[in-house]
Each structure stands twice: as C-alpha cells, then as structure tokens.
Amino acid sequence: MNKRAFLLCAALAASSVSVSAQQPAWQPAPGHLTLPLWPGLAPGALANAPAEVDTTMPKDDLIAGRPIVRLGNVSTPTLTVYSPKGTNTGAAVVVFPGGAYTILAIDLEGTEVCDWLNSAGITCLLLKYRVPGTGPFPKSSAALQDAQRALGLAREHAAEWHIDPNRIGVLGFSAGAHLAAALSTHYDQRLYDPVDAADKLSCRPDFAVIIYPGYLALPRQGMVPNPNVQPTAQTPPSFILQAEDDPVHVENAVEYFMELKNAKVPAELHIYAEGGHGYGLRRTQLPITAWPQLVEVWLRTIKILPPQ
C-alpha cells in the first residue's frame, strides 16, 4: 500500500471511530419521532462534551428481577414522541426519568412509563434531559431549561402530534419528580434566551405526577420545605406518591403536599408503609407498585381523562 492510500485509510478509520463515538448510548425503538430539544448546542453546553454512555454495571441492583439502563453523560437532550396505537384521549405527559441528576433511568422510568401511558390513551413525550450535574435548581439551571423547552415544543406541535395543548402534564421520578415540581413552580419566566416560536408558548404543565421525589425537603435543615420550589395558587394540580420507608425520605412528599395545600392547589397524596425507592412501574408483591391505576383515577377526577 502506498503512503497516500495508507493515509486515506487511516483518515477514514478515524472518521468512522469519531462518528461511532458520537452516537447516543440509548436510542428509542424504531417508529418513534425524536426531536433534538435545541436547534444547536443547549444553553451553556460544551462543544466537546464526553460521549453519552450506559453506566450500568453487572453488580448494580436489579429492579423486580431485571436490570435497568443508567444513561450518563447526556449533553444533547431530546424529546421522543410515543403515540397511542389505539384510542387517543388527546392528553399528553412529558416524562422525566430519575437518577439523582447524575444518570437517567431511561427504561425503568422512561420507556416503560410510555408503554403504560399509551395503554391509557395518553401520548407520552419522553425527555432525555442533560446529566450529570444539572440540578437540583438553582444549583444548575440546565435540566429545568430542558423541561421548560420541552413543554413549549409540546404545545407548538400539539396539532401535529394529535394532543390537546390544554391537557399536557408532567410525570417525574426521584430527581425527575423534583424536576416536575420545579417546572410546576418555575414556568412564568424562561431560564434561557428564547430561540424560536416554541419559547413564546406557556411552559406551565396542566397537571403534575410526582413519584418518590427527592430535593423537596432539606434534610440538613430538619426536613423543612425547599424554598426554591415554592407553590403558588397557579401551580398545577398534583398527584404525589412515596413510601414511608423510602431512604430518600418520605418528608419530600409530605412537605410538598402541605405547601400545595397551603397555596390552595388541588393535590392528592398517597403514602405507603413499604416500597423503598426506584421501583418505577415494575410490579412486585408490594401494594405501592399498583400506583399507575391510582393516577388514572386521579386524571379522570380532574377531567384530564374522560370518565369510564
């Protein structure tokens, strides 16, 4: 092989490795529309961020006997649309997986949630938001910026995605539950400079589902409510669920519920004796894992879903 041919092959090989390295570590199943959240780099993002990676290790705990995908180094956030295959009620939910603002449990608290929502006739919009080190707000604004942007995009594309722009809620787990509460109380002003028409639309959720939240009460201050997530009368109706034995502290749910009550926001709180943390929708022998049915009843109660 002559020198020129060798150099060409080397360049092609390097290019191939570079493209491969830039591929996301997780992609949705075929048939689902995925949009980049931002038209260019996300606000404040680094141009040469580390490659996205599945951080799951063989020794990691199983949930209901199965592993989960722990997605890390997310620097290019996306919004993926999961539309119901049968009846479409017109309601939609933007889903925020948890993971301590370090990783995203993208299947346990993401795609599996979308399967359930679709079965109830609800469009699921799965947000792959930036991690690690992107929260809780105001420590970082990045995840909350992504959440605000996602709600604006959902309303901009409402007709195209066959959803009602007045029935778009949020559902989050753990850190994602904190993100849902943070968006419910920080929707009146964008935390970034508007980039297009989507940012001119409201990013207030019409309802919020908050599952085993963290960061809503401050353990180093005697579990007082987090002053950076302060409900007002305009905060959307909220459903909150947590186990008393959750190591992240059940006070996160209880204190936030009391803040909602004091602000006269319609809210529903479910506390179970056992359940721990991080179970997602995977059914076990514990009663708390039947929570999706409670959410469906609540959504009918607040007239997001039609009566049965």
pLDDT in tens, the chain (308 residues): 444 443 334 443 443 333 334 578 888 989 999 999 999 999 998 888 899 999 999 888 899 999 999 999 999 999 999 999 999 999 999 999 999 999 999 999 999 999 999 999 999 999 999 999 998 999 999 999 999 999 999 999 999 999 999 999 999 999 999 999 999 999 999 999 999 999 999 999 999 999 999 999 999 899 999 999 999 999 999 999 999 999 999 999 999 999 999 999 999 999 999 999 999 999 999 999 999 999 999 999 999 999 98
Note the pLDDT of residue 290: 97
- Tell me if 259 is assigned to some domain: yes
Q: List pLDDT tens digits, range 45-102.
A: 888 889 999 999 988 889 999 999 999 999 999 999 999 999 999 999 999 999 999 9
Tokens of residue 35, six digits = 């949009």
Q: How many residues appear in the chain? A: 308
Q: Which of 227, 265, 240, 277 is nearest to 98 (CA)?
A: 277
Q: List pLDDT tens digits, range 287-297.
A: 999 999 999 99
Q: What angle, 0 to 180 degrees and rounded to 10, lies between the N-to-C axes of helices 175-185 and 142-156? A: 70
* Global model pTM greater than 0.85: yes
- Tell me if 8 is assigned to some domain: no
CATH number of the domain within which 289 lies: 3.40.50.1820
- Tell me if 234 is assigned to some domain: yes
- Tell me if 246 is assigned to some domain: yes
- Tell me if 117 is assigned to some domain: yes
CA Rg, the chain, in Å? Answer: 20
Give the Cα-Cα-Cα angle 97, 101, 104 (nearest 5 degrees).
35
Contact present, 87 and 300 (Cβ < 8 Å): no
Contact present, 252 and 268 (Cβ < 8 Å): no
**How many domains does the chain contain in total?**
1
- Tell me if 16 is assigned to some domain: no
Contact present, 170 and 187 (Cβ < 8 Å): no
Give the Cα-Cα-Cα angle 285, 287, 291 (nearest 5 degrees).
125
Contact present, 185 and 231 (Cβ < 8 Å): yes
| Residue type present at position 113 | V
Note the pLDDT of residue 22: 55
- Tell me if 40 is assigned to some domain: no
- Tell me if 19 is assigned to some domain: no
Domain span at residue 203? 55-301
